[in-house]
Amino acid sequence: ETHSFPEKLKIIDLSMDFRIESPEHDFIYGLPELNRKRIIRCNRVANPGCFATAIQLALLPLAKNLLLNNPVHIHAITGSTGAGQKPSATSHFSWRNDNISIYKPFTHQHLAEIKQSLRQLQNSFDTDLNFIPVRGNFSRGIFATLYTDCPVELDEIKRIYEEYYDDHSFVFISDKNPDLKQVVNTNKCLLYLEKFGNKLLITSLIDNLLKGASGQAVHNMNLLFGLEETVGLKLKPSAF
């Protein structure tokens, strides 16, 4: 099913956070790897936050298999473009260069939408997400590391992730420890999985300006208008 542009492009109240679903509005949370079928049928999409995208893509397969039963510890560092276009003291190059700091520890605004999505797949999810956001001294990208106790063997974990993302175009399970430049300038998310005893370590990498923002918006637009979902998004990483 395709839709005409006038039907889809409507004036909305930008003062509200439509990423948190409620009966009062008809916005669908626009993470294609979670809500692709709902996005295709909807009229309005709320684009996810950038940190939220990287973290959810790291955890959705676990939630789908009811494996998020212990606290999750999250450390994620973002480039200066994650602060948006409005100038501030902490986004200015002279402060950001050769510098690093944390902000909003345990209280970041993206936690609400992350928990909403995890509960959508695992209704019993009610554990802590201990999230420490970090301002990095680079321009683009999010490098997130997450760990939690998980009794499942690594081979089975990899199978679960590969199965979950098998029919999704932009999420890849890496066999090698990835670096940020492999995703910058792309709409990709790279995930890397390791086990250390009972601890599962997940590395999740995205470009905050593409997969975490405009690229995801284009992906949602493609779904809304019945286009092939990779249209306009076949981009090469800056590493090459």
Percent of the chain whose predicted confidence (pLDDT) is above 90: 75
CA quadruple 79, 85, 91, 96: dihedral sign:
positive
Determine phi and psi for 81, rounding to 5 degrees. Answer: -70, -15
Give the per-residue pLDDT at 11: 42
What average pLDDT values come out for the chain (240 residues) when binned by 10 residues? 48 54 75 96 92 97 98 95 64 74 90 95 96 93 98 98 98 97 97 98 97 96 96 89
For 133-162, what is each residue's pLDDT tens digit? 999 999 899 999 999 999 999 999 999 999
Fold of domain 49-213? Dihydrodipicolinate Reductase; domain 2 (3.30.360)
Query: Where are the domains positioned within the chain?
Result: 49-213
One DSSP character per residue, 123-192 reads TT----EEEEEEE-SSSS-EEEEEEEE--S-HHHHHHHHHHHTTT-SSEEE-SS---GGGTTTSS-EEEE
pLDDT at residue 81, as a whole number: 79
Distances (CA, A) of 64 to 60, 111, 190: 6, 18, 19
For residue 168 the two structure tokens come to 């999704």
Residue 225 backbone phi and psi in degrees, to 5: -105, 15
Would you call 50 a catalytic residue per the annotation? yes
